[in-house]
Structure 1
Amino acid sequence: MQVDFYHLTAQPLDRVLPRIAERVVGTGGRLLIVAESDAQRTALDRLLWTYSPESFLAHAQAGEGSDAAQPILIAPTADATNAARNIALADGIWREEALGFERAFHFFDADRIAEARAAWKGLADRDGVERRYWKQNDEGRWEQAA
């Protein structure tokens, strides 16, 4: 199980998440995007339709259609009714349920850095968990820092 911590500094979530979603779906995977807030889930739904004129990411919000058919599902909880093996924690809140997936993407900004550090430390001694920390350089490119 791999957990990738993405510290959002130079680019906001709406620039980073769609690219990761494209990679997951492009390799035949499915993604569950979790955000507690209704407003954030609605914004993410809009984002995945509009972030790039030349791209299309098929998705839905949980409960608005056939969840099981969706390659990308946006939900308030870590319940992968679309059979996703990848989870993106878009609201900066770590959830232990993420450990039930093959790969977790934990996005956080300065407002959630203390929680992210606690999650990082909490996963240090977990068997079978590989942690990676990604930060943005001055040009906005991602570099693995740990």
Structure 2
Amino acid sequence: MQVDFYQLSRDPVDQVLPAIAARVLSLGERLLVVAADDAQLGRISTGLWEGPPESFLAHGRAGEGAESIQPVLLSQDCDAANGARHVAIADGLWRDEALNFERAFYFFDAASVDGARESWRALSRRDGVMPRFWRQDGRKWVQGP
């Protein structure tokens, strides 16, 4: 299982996540996006809507119905009601339930960097988990050491 740590230093997660979601969907996969804060899920939803028409990312929110057909499902829980095998943890709070997915995208910022470091250390010691670190370099993402 692969866990990609994304350190947000330039853009907030609601601006970064649409590109990740588009990439996951282009692979024929589904994505579960998890954040405890309902307002943050609202900002992410807006970010998924605001791209150009050709990059529209269909999505829905858990609890609104039709979860099983959503290519991208936004939820406060790490439960893939849409059958996703990829999960994006958008609020910087690692959840061990993410280990049940094939791939996890773990977004963190300056406020959650200590938790991310602790999660990195713990996940690095687990069998079958491959953590990778990404940081923003201008508009691109580069893999860090």
TM class by smaller structure:
over 0.9
CA separation in 2, counterparts of 1:16 and 1:46?
12
Deviates more, 1:5-14 or 1:90-99: 5-14
CA apart distance, 1:14: 2.3
1:22 match: secondary structure: helix
Matched, 1:25 2:25: yes
Matching residue of 1:142: 141
What are the ranges of 5 or more consecutive residues in structure 2 without an aligned counterpart? none
Q: TM-score, normalised by structure 1?
A: 0.95
Does the CA-based 8 Å contact 2:15-2:47 persist in structure 1? no
Deviates more, 1:38-47 or 1:73-82: 38-47
CA separation in 2, counterparts of 1:41 and 1:19?
16
What are the ranges of 5 or more consecutive residues in structure 1 without an aligned counterpart? none
Q: TM-score, normalised by structure 2?
A: 0.96
Matching residue of 1:75: 75
What whole-Å deviation, never above 9, does each CA across 1:47-69 have from its counterpart, x for those lacking one? 21113343211110001121000
Count of aligned pairs between the two proteins: 145
What whole-Å deviation, never above 9, does each CA across 1:75-134 have from its counterpart, x for those lacking one? 001000000000000111100000000000000000000000000001111110001000
One-letter amino acid matched to 1:92: G
Matching residue of 1:126: 126
Matching residue of 1:3: 3
Q: CA RMSD in A?
A: 1.1
CA separation in 2, counterparts of 1:24 and 1:75?
17
One-letter amino acid matched to 1:142: W
